[in-house]
Structure 1
Amino acid sequence: MDFNQPPGGSSMSSAQRDQLMDQVKQQIALANAQELLQKMSEKCFKKCIHKPGTSLDSSEQKCVAMCMDRYMDAWNLVSRAYSNRLQRERHG
């Protein structure tokens, strides 16, 4: 299968391929962000909300805020480590 040849037989220009790749990257980034938010919400809800009701009390609010902060810190740390490893493997 030749990805440079779209169905119909006409070839894509370099600019069209770059634009398509940018769109794919944006879609992947959006999917990753949605998954991150979903997982963070699930985990922090489980950890912090023991008796669900119509509102959060102050201790639940603090717990959720701290949980989300820690989750984002951990996610950023892992992302940086993964990115650094990929760069080392490409240049190594």
Structure 2
Amino acid sequence: MSSLFGSSSSATPQTSEEIKAAVVRQLQTEAAMSNARSLIGKVNKHCFQACVPTPGTSLSAKENTCLSSCMEKYIAMWNVTSRTYITRVGTETKRLGGQDAAAIASMATGQPEGGSGILG
């Protein structure tokens, strides 16, 4: 993984545009990690509470099936929401005529510009 301040490759950004692009990529990566952590935390909280009423030392087959189904639905919902948000930001960006707004929105969602979701 390459970062602006500790790149593992020998090529370092030279122009201000390259530096800006490197900063945006680094922020996108960090936002994506934050969003992934948030998704995992929410899935754990909501699905576990819904599927495991009395925690024990292992999961029953019913609890395991419930958790799998819940997680799949939650992640699908997350992806739909992300795509919708990115589409809306893209529409607003085109309306306002600014490229920087799309880059900022992609940082907020943790997705590259035009990205399609956490797992899709």
TM-score, shorter chain, exceeding 0.5: yes
Q: Quick one: percent identity of the two aligned structures?
A: 33
Q: 2:65 aligns with which of 49, 62, 65?
A: 62
Larger radius of gyration: 1
Match of 2:33 in 1: 30
Code of the aligned partner of 2:93? R
3-state DSSP of counterpart to 2:68: helix
Q: Distance in 2 between matches of 1:69 and 1:89?
A: 30
Match of 1:74 in 2: 77
Runs of 5+ unmatched residues, structure 1 = 1-11
Runs of 5+ unmatched residues, structure 2 = 1-14, 96-120
Q: Distance in 2 between matches of 1:90 and 1:50?
A: 45
Q: 1:83 aligns with which of 43, 64, 86?
A: 86
Q: TM-score, normalised by structure 1?
A: 0.81
3-state DSSP of counterpart to 1:66: helix
- Ranked by relative contact order (alpha carbons within 8 Å, sequence separation 6 or more), the top structure is 2
Larger helix fraction of residues: 1
Q: Distance in 2 between matches of 1:17 and 1:88?
A: 23
> How far off its partner does 1:15 sit?
1.9
Match of 1:5 in 2: none
4+ aligned runs moved over 6 Å, structure 1: none
Cα RMSD, aligned residues only: 1.3
